[in-house]
Each structure stands twice: as structure tokens, then as C-alpha cells.
Structure 1
Amino acid sequence: MDLLPFTAEHAATVAGWPASPEEVLLWCGRRESPVTGETVAGWQEDPEVHGYVLVEDGDGDADGDGALLGYGEVWTDAEEDEAELARVVVAPPARGRGVGRVLVRALLDRARGAGFDDVFLRVHPENAVALRCYEGAGFVRVDPDEAAGWNAAQPVAYVWLTWPARVTGTP
């Protein structure tokens, strides 16, 4: 599997993965469903949003011509010196095979490789599958008081997680 930069050609495919309004809400927090390819492509217009796709290489080389398995973003904030993993979704045929964990670890590697030691993500409180995925990839919940402060301006009380280096001081 390879993590490649998102391109507009991926947008319609990624937009079609959530099968219901509930999945859309849990994935990207939007109440409008379905999400369009134009919306997904438009997310990339923000210079702090870096979208990626995870592909299964079909022929053994690294050209990315295999099936799309997942999508996710690294949101960078140079002023705060932190990154957030966001809008992570796995293609329906690839779910339940550990692809989400591979995708999350690959996105984390991109964030850390860009110099961000503080890496966070937030999960809709009803998205138990995603929470298991992120915790399985090694993320831990932030302090409840810190999460409450961050949630003050949010539409829901997200579950906030961080890469353990922030908690333990280890690489």
C-alpha cells in the first residue's frame, strides 16, 4: 500500500464512500448528504489542508495505479506547531481489514515528517469504529479538561486523541 497525494481525479470516488447521511456526519461533520466530489476537491483549497489517498498497488510498482483504499487529511497549523488528522475514511470494500490503521499511521508519518510532534485527531462521539481504529493505531485520549476546552467552540463534544509523544515525551 502507498500513501499518495490526493488529486481531483480521486474526489468523486472518495465522496461516494459514505453510504448514508449518518456516515457523512460521522466522517466529515456535514449534515448535507451526499457529499459531492466538488466538495471533497474544494477542501484542498485551504493551504493548511493536505489530502492523501491510500492505494493498493496492483502490479508491484509504486505508481499508484491500484485500487483506492482510503482517504485522509493532515491539517497543519504552523502558528500552534501542531497537526490534526482529519476526514479519514476507508473504502467500503476495504473496511474491516486493518486498512484504517495503516492509513492513520501513514498520515501520522506525514505529519511527523513535516516536523509536527503534536498530532491530534477528533472523533464524533458516536463513531465507535473510528475510535477503535485510532486507538488501535496508537493514539490516546487527551486530558478530559483539555478536551472540554477544545469542544467549547465545536458543534458536538468530540473525543479528542493525541499521539502519545505529546503525553509521554517519547518519539
Structure 2
Amino acid sequence: MDLLPFSAEHAATVAAWPASSREVLLWCGHREFPVTGETVAGWREDPEVHGHVLVGDGAVLGYGEVWTDAEEDEAELARIVVAPEARGRGVGRVLVRALLDRALGAGFDDVFLRVHPDNAVALRCYEGAGFVPVDPDEAAEWNAVQPVPYVWLTRPGRVTGTP
């Protein structure tokens, strides 16, 4: 499997993966269903958002982003989703590890994920990829400005920072 840069041609495919408004909410926090290809394509307009697709055997199997913050010297992995036909086969862990490699390769030692508290499948995937919960006091501080009390994760051995 290869992690490739996301392009607008992938947007409609990725947008079609969530099958319900709940899946959309857990994936990207949007309340609109379905998410449009235009919405997904628009995410790449932010210079700090670096979208990627995981491709295997010629098929797009997953999508995820590395959000970079040079000022804080940290990155966040975000909007991670796996194609429905590829779920349950470890593709999510491969995608998360590949995104982490991109963030580390770009020089970011502090790498975070936030997970909707009701997304048990994603939480298991991220923990399976080696991520661990941040300090509860940090999570409480970061959640003070969030719409839901996310579960915040980081890679082991990171330096304490601010997302």
C-alpha cells in the first residue's frame, strides 16, 4: 500500500464513504449528510492541511490528513476514514502509521489525534497503531474550547505541548 497526496479527483470517492449522518459526525465533525465532494476537496485549500490517500491494488482504501502547526512545532492527524469495503482488515492502522511517518518526516515530534468520544472503532485503531492517551489535565484543557470532550491521543515519548 502507498500513501499518496490527495487530489481533487479523490474527493467524490472519499465523500461517499460515510453511510449516515452519524458516520459523518464521527469522521469529520460535520452535521451535514451527505458530505459533498466539494467539501472534501475544499479542505486542501488550507495550507496547514495536508491530505493523503492510501492506495492498494489500484484502489483508494483510506483518506487522512496531517495538520501542521509550525508555530507550535506540532502536527495533528485528522479526518481519517477507511473505505467501507476495506474496514476490519488493518487498513486503518496502516494509514495512521503512514500519516505519522509523514508528520515525523516533516520534523514534527509532537503528533496528536483527537477522537470523538463515541467512536470506539477509531479509538481501537489508533491505539493499535501505537497512540496513547494524553495526560487527563491536558485533555481537559484542550477540550475546554471543543464542541465535544474529545479523547486526545499522542505517540509515546512525545514532549508535553499544546495542540
TM-score, normalised with respect to structure 1: 0.92
d(CA) in 1 for partners of 2:46, 2:156 = 27
CA RMSD of aligned residues (A): 1.0
The one-character-per-residue Cα deviations of 1:106-135 (angstroms, maximum 9, x if unpaired) are 000000000000000000000000000000
Q: Percent identity?
A: 87
For residues 139-168 of structure 1, give each alpha carbon's deviation from its aligned partner in whole angstroms, at most 9, with x where no partner exists.
000011100000000000000000112169
Structure 1 residue runs of 4 or more that deviate by more than 4 Å after TM superposition: none
Amino acid paired to 1:74: V
Q: For residue 85 of structure 1, report the CA deviation from its aligned partner.
A: 0.1
d(CA) in 2 for partners of 1:88, 1:94 = 13
The structure number with the bigger radius of gyration is 1
Query: What residue in structure 2 maps to residue 70 of structure 1?
Result: 62
Give the 5 Å matches for 1:47-86.
Answer: 47-56=47-56, 58=57, 66-86=58-78
* Pick aligned residue for 1:125 from 117, 126, 129: 117
Q: 2:110, 2:159 within 8 Å by CA — same for their partners in 1? A: no
Aligned residues: 160
Kept in 2, the 8 Å contact 1:117–1:165? The answer is no
Q: Which runs of 5+ in 2 are unaligned?
A: none
1:110 matched to 2:95? The reply is no
Q: Secondary structure at the match of 1:165?
A: coil
2:131–2:154 CA contact under 8 A, matched in 1: yes
SS of the equivalent of 1:44 reads helix
